[in-house]
Structure formats: C-alpha cells, structure tokens
Structure 1
C-alpha cells in the first residue's frame, strides 16, 4: 500500500504530505488517521526537526470525510447511534488531540480544497498559507451534519464568532482572497510558489532556539482559554526554564559578541 502520509526532513524542516490524491486526501478513514498521527509522533520525537509543513498531494489539501463510506455498516453513521460517539472518539477526534499535544510549530500549506474536516485540519495548524487556488468550506451542514472533529471550537478562535457562524451555517466556500481578508490564512501566494513560501517561513522559525519555539507555541495555545493570571503564572514557570537553557545563553553571547547565534539540536 502507498504511504498515506509522506515524510520528508531537510534542514530542520519536516514536510508531511497527505498522499491519497485520487480521493483528494480524505482524513476520516482509520488508515489515514493512524498514518497522520504516526507521522506527527515521528517528527515530534526528532530533535533535529524545528518546524513542520503539512500539505496535500495532488490538487487538494484535504476533502475531509470519505463520503463513499459514511453511513455504511461499520462506518460512522452506519450503526447503532449509541456507538457513534465512540466511533468519533477513537477515530477522527484523535487528530485534533494529537495536534493539541504537538509541540513543534506546524504550517498548513493549503493547495486547493480544504473542505469539512479538511478545513478543520488546516485550522489545527499554527499558521496557514494558501495558494491562489485554495478554498475552505466548513460544509458539514450541507450534508445534514455538524463539525464532529472540533471545527466549531477551532474556527471561531481563528476568524471570530461571526465569520465562523457564517461559514458553518451556510457551508459556503471561502476562496483564497476572502480567506486572507478574514484571517483564515496569513499569506496568499501563487500556487507554484506555495511550498517554497511555506519552506521559507519554516526555515525562519527553525533558525530560532528550538526549546523557545516549542514553549512559545505551548504558551500561545494554552493562552486561548486561560485567564490572564493563569497565563502569567504559566509564562513565569516556562520562562524560569528558558533562562537556564544553553540556547538562551548562546543567544545573549551572540548578541554581545555581534555574531550570528549557533543553536544546537540538544
């Protein structure tokens, strides 16, 4: 079987590519879920990796759920309703939890369609950039469904409640320029420059001390739901560790000596 998630590591940047282009890279099947989580765990343990890019093979980022299987016996919606919650918990809901615990900065390079769970997958990433052909659709309502993979939690935190409601309640697509305007993506580039632009951004992140970038990401993520006093307490605890690292000492030494810093992987 072809690898469903390709992993390429070069110059401290790991590129993960969803690799089922014939189906437009759906992520709801157990095999893809396992492959994606395994890839995240692999690069997350690799101390030489400092930033990650996620993209899709072919002309789509991800079509979301596999509509060929939904409602079939043994698949989501195809059995006793009492069993459906476990189907989600032990299925596609494992993906947002894996992203929530993933410490490395991850950039979604959105090529073409990011539909339903594919839109939510992009929202699980820390940064999203889009090619000119990119479009997003929180389209569950079109199928008589709701976002079952965390989309209703993720999307308002990115584009605000009003725009998230518009997307989720109409299910209509948001094309690249509108996605840029509403903050769903932070950068829009020509399709042929998408991976190059993502890589340049990843290298800018990877040039920084790796412990600090991991902690900064964690602080940003946890800050979404903390009171200010809780956030400041966590920041103080993390900063106490950051002050002791060789990376911090090297950064200060390089500043004083007016030279580029040299950060090891350790």
Structure 2
C-alpha cells in the first residue's frame, strides 16, 4: 500500500517527509469501530513503517469532529446482543478496534495529533496514542464509555493514565465528563491549544521541524521513548547503547559531524 493514497476512511497526502493523514468520514464523525476504518489505519501504520522516507505523521479529522469513537448505530450488531454469543464480541474487539492502539504504538515515526474537534471515547484514546497532541479551541475530550454502561474496550485504561496521570484518568473514566481544550492543556492531555484556523499550520510547522532531522535517529528515539514507559533503566541503557552504535555509523551522523567541524575551521 503506498503511503500517499485515499481509502474510503482515510485521505493520506505527502508533503515531503510528512504524511498528512485525515480521517475522512464526517457523516459518522469519523467513527473508528467500523472494520474498514480499523483496516485503513492499521494499513497506514504498516506502510509508513516500510517507507523510510516518511519521518512524521500528522493525524486529523475531516468535518467538525476529530473522532466520535465507536459507531453507536452498529454497536448492537458488531459487539452487542445481535452479534451472537458473547465470545464473538470478544473476537470482534480483539480482531477489530483493539488493533488500533497496537498499530499506533508500533508506528515508528513521531505522530502529531491535530485535534480539530470532539475526541470522544475511542477517539479520545486515539489522541492518547499520538506522541504530540495539539488542540483547536473547538476541541473537546471525554472518556464516554461509562455513560453507555461500557468500559474502555480499546486500551483506554492503559493509555489515559499515561497521558494525564491516574487520578485525572480515573475522574474522566468514572464520570464520563467532557473537558474543553483549555482543561486538556492544563491536565497535560495536549501540549498546545490554538485557534481553529491555526491548527494545521501549527501542526505542519512542528512536523517540518521534526522532519528536518535524520529519519533513522527519529525512529530509534521514538522506540526508546516508548520502551521507557515500561522497561527497566538498565534495559533502556542497553537498548540505547545498541541504537547509538548504529547511529554513529549512519551517513546522517557523518554529515552532521563534517558540517560541525567545517564551522569550527572558519
């Protein structure tokens, strides 16, 4: 699958080393639980991992919403009482939407979420899988599962505490309350809040500054940050030694050293 493509759910455009990925189903508010949505996002992650010319992904949503999470119209048929015996719902989660946090977690390049509007339920969890999160002033966030008598079925219980801390994650999970962009900034769920018209320019400017750096170093640095969330220090140090040994022998590193030494001779 080429990285620059359009699927029924995703519009993917290349701008140099940046892949701009837009969830493009505004009629469902970019719901994630439909199988083709899952397939499109998983395929995008796999394609980016194979294409070493991609250094950054910017993820956003078309229309007024970032993502509404689950498609409520299909909950009964996909997961509920119309899906058959309960074990079939287990398979539907495991073989469906649960593939998203795994695919995004294994995506090798930095991912910037440009949150243009509501990010609810699984949409909020999708935000949490991204490395950098920028919100429009029109964005809102909520772990809405409990309002529907459900629990976070797509990994939110692991993702949300790592984004905002356990106490705030518990508050969001147990109340289902919605927070606005300003509160999301205060709680650390996002790192910036900007006017709606500045969202994509801000995300793209940051993406360009990241993409200006060597791609192999970016991919290895991200892997270390991800592993550092759960590995022991000695394990990270060993991985760092191995990755650094590889980095020392790249053409990018040699070029950077040559440039630095040339400046010293001036």
TM-score by length of 2: 0.94
Matched residue, 2:51: 46
Residue from 203, 206, 209 that aligns with 1:198: 203
Q: What pairs up with 1:170-209 in 2 under 5 angstroms?
A: 170-209=175-214
Structure 2 residue 23 is matched with structure 1 residue 22: no
| 3-state SS in 2 of match to 1:17 | strand
Q: Are the counterparts in 1 of residues 132 and 191 from structure 2 also a CA contact under 8 Å?
A: yes
Matched residue, 2:108: 103
Q: Residues 2 and 234 from structure 1, CA distance in 2 versus in 1: closer, same or farther, beyond 3 angstroms?
A: closer
Q: Are the counterparts in 1 of residues 48 and 107 from structure 2 also a CA contact under 8 Å?
A: no
Structure 2 residue 248 is matched with structure 1 residue 249: no
Residue 133 of structure 1, CA deviation: 0.3
Give 1 or 2: higher helix fraction.
2
Structure 2 residue 56 is matched with structure 1 residue 58: no
Structure 2 residue 174 is matched with structure 1 residue 169: yes
Residue 106 of structure 1, CA deviation: 0.6
Matched residue, 1:7: 12
| 3-state SS in 2 of match to 1:70 | helix
Matched residue, 2:3: none
Matched residue, 1:143: 148
Would you identify which runs of 4 or more consecutive aligned residues in structure 1 move more than 6 Å?
none
Q: May I ask how many residue pairs the two structures share in their alignment? A: 257
Residue from 75, 79, 98 that aligns with 1:76: 79
Q: Are the counterparts in 1 of residues 136 and 199 from structure 2 also a CA contact under 8 Å?
A: yes
Provide the rounded CA distance (Å) in 1 between the counterparts of 2:88 and 2:9: 27
Provide structure 1 residue ranges, at least 5 long, that are not aligned to the other structure: 260-266
> What do residues 179-238 of structure 1 show as CA deviations (whole Å, max 9, x unaligned)?
001110011110111011000010010001110000000000000001111111111111
Residue from 128, 131, 139 that aligns with 1:126: 131
Residue 2 of structure 1, CA deviation: 6.6
- Calculate the aligned-residue CA RMSD, in Å: 1.4
Residue 37 of structure 1, CA deviation: 1.3
Provide the rounded CA distance (Å) in 2 between the counterparts of 1:193 and 1:44: 29
Q: Are the counterparts in 1 of residues 68 and 119 from structure 2 also a CA contact under 8 Å?
A: yes
TM-score by length of 1: 0.94
Provide the rounded CA distance (Å) in 2 between the counterparts of 1:242 and 1:147: 39
Structure 2 residue 202 is matched with structure 1 residue 233: no
Provide structure 2 residue ranges, at least 5 long, that are not aligned to the other structure: 1-5
| 3-state SS in 1 of match to 2:253 | helix
Q: Residues 2 and 226 from structure 1, CA distance in 2 versus in 1: closer, same or farther, beyond 3 angstroms?
A: closer
